[in-house]
Amino acid sequence: MHELKDSADVARALADHVAAALAARVARDGMASLAVSGGRTPTRFFEELSTRDLPWDKIAVTLVDERWVRETSERSNARLVRQHLIRNKAAAAKFVPLANDAPSPEAGLFAVNEALEDLPWPLACAVLGMGDDGHTASFFPGGDHLEEAIDPDGTLGLIAMNAPNAGEPRITLTLPVLLAADSLALHIEGEAKRPVLAQAMEDGPATDMPIRAVLRAKRPLDIFWCP
């Protein structure tokens, strides 16, 4: 658990952490991939990371999950990443979005899977967020494919998700793909999320608070938090 003073400090510490994971993997394999979350929290971290000195031309960036909307929508995570991360030095990175023009994530899944095939797997780093309901990625309570998505032994890498509180249909990397990353981080900000995390650390079904599937996995997780 990395407890920082404020959002700017979290952005710097998390950018250091992610940059180290990417640099180590490029040094080993000549290329690396990063999956980031959308939502409100990551903007500052994206901007900080975009200025880091990394071999960005050898780095592919994708999303942990996406809302099935056009990139012109304010709700598009791809739009957020292009605006705040794929710029400055990171403009040289290859960005692979998780959505396309298909009418639904179910219809678009095959093409997204194909686009993801070229990435260097496993991920060098995945950065997760967490919602007030205990969701992470698009692992939403009540999601129609939640159990498959959070099965650590599942064989799918990418899955469509429809859930009552998700806003719109979603597409998401699955738990085994996230857990296979060299480095896994959880980025949460604000007092309101502290009790949510505490509750998630208690006993109870992972389907009620899907972040539990990540917290209970037998692998290191770096949590970055500020009030």
Sites of contact with ligand 6PG (CB under 6 A) = 37-41, 64-65, 67, 77, 129-131, 135-137
Shortest distance (Å) from residue 54 CB to ligand 6PG: 23
Residue closer to ligand 6PG by CB (options 26, 196) is 196
Q: Which tokens go with 77?
A: 């995570």
Residue closer to ligand 6PG by CB (options 12, 89) is 12
Q: What are phi and psi of 2, to 5 degrees?
A: -105, 105
Residue closer to ligand 6PG by CB (options 126, 130) is 130
Shortest distance (Å) from residue 77 CB to ligand 6PG: 5
Residue closer to ligand 6PG by CB (options 12, 75) is 75
Residue closer to ligand 6PG by CB (options 58, 172) is 172
Q: Which tokens go with 135?
A: 């969701």
User: 204 CB contacts (<8 Å, ≥6 apart)?
Assistant: 212
Residue closer to ligand 6PG by CB (options 131, 176) is 131
User: 208 CB contacts (<8 Å, ≥6 apart)?
Assistant: 134, 141
Shortest distance (Å) from residue 113 CB to ligand 6PG: 19
Shortest distance (Å) from residue 189 CB to ligand 6PG: 8
Q: What are phi and psi of 54, to 5 degrees?
A: -135, 160
- At residue 37's C-alpha, the angle toward residues 31 and 39, to 5°, is 150
Closest CA to 93 of 42, 58, 125: 58
Shortest distance (Å) from residue 166 CB to ligand 6PG: 8
Shortest distance (Å) from residue 67 CB to ligand 6PG: 6
Residue whose pair of structure tokens reads 């949590």 in the numeric block: 223
Residue nearest to ligand 6PG as judged by C-beta position: 129
Interhelix angle 43-50/77-84, nearest 10 degrees = 40
DSSP structural state of residue 123: P
